[in-house]
Amino acid sequence: MPADAGEAELREVFGELTPPAPDTYISELSDLDLFLLKVTLALFSNRPILVVGDLEQVRDNCRRAIAVERLGAIAAQRSVVVGVTNPLGHEAPDHDLHDHRILTGKNA
């Protein structure tokens, strides 16, 4: 495998953020870095739609906002579907909210 394999995907996902060094142990990664690396791996499938669940795994609100910003940047190139329990907030990139309760008329 070429030494630069995955560089384009890392740039797409991390943007201006510095990705972890190749010799970084997983236990040393922040929740944001781990989340973004998972997204990077998902992009290797080269599908037109990226489905992301459990955005709340990025625990800190400031870091979660960065994750949302990065997903918004990825959405400029492909469709991104994010499953969340809590609203993304007013500062999130343009997005549509599809509340299952509203769509089905049920509260469960």
Q: How confident is the model at residue 97 (pLDDT cuts 50, 70, 90)?
A: low
User: In the prediction, which pLDDT does 89 show?
Assistant: 62
Instruction: Provide the token pair at 43.
Output: 């992009």
Are the C-beta atoms of 67 and 90 separated by less than 8 Å? Answer: no
Residue 103 has pLDDT above 60, yes or no: no
CB within 8 Å of 27: residues ≥ 6 apart: none
How is the chain split into domains, by residue range? 7-104
Q: Which of 58, 63, 74, 68 is nearest to 88 (CA)?
A: 68
Rounded-to-integer distance, Cα 103 and Cα 108, Å: 12
Predicted TM-score (pTM) of the model is 0.77
Render pLDDT for 27-73 as a digit per residue (tens, 0 to 9): 999 999 999 999 999 999 889 899 998 888 898 888 988 998 999 99
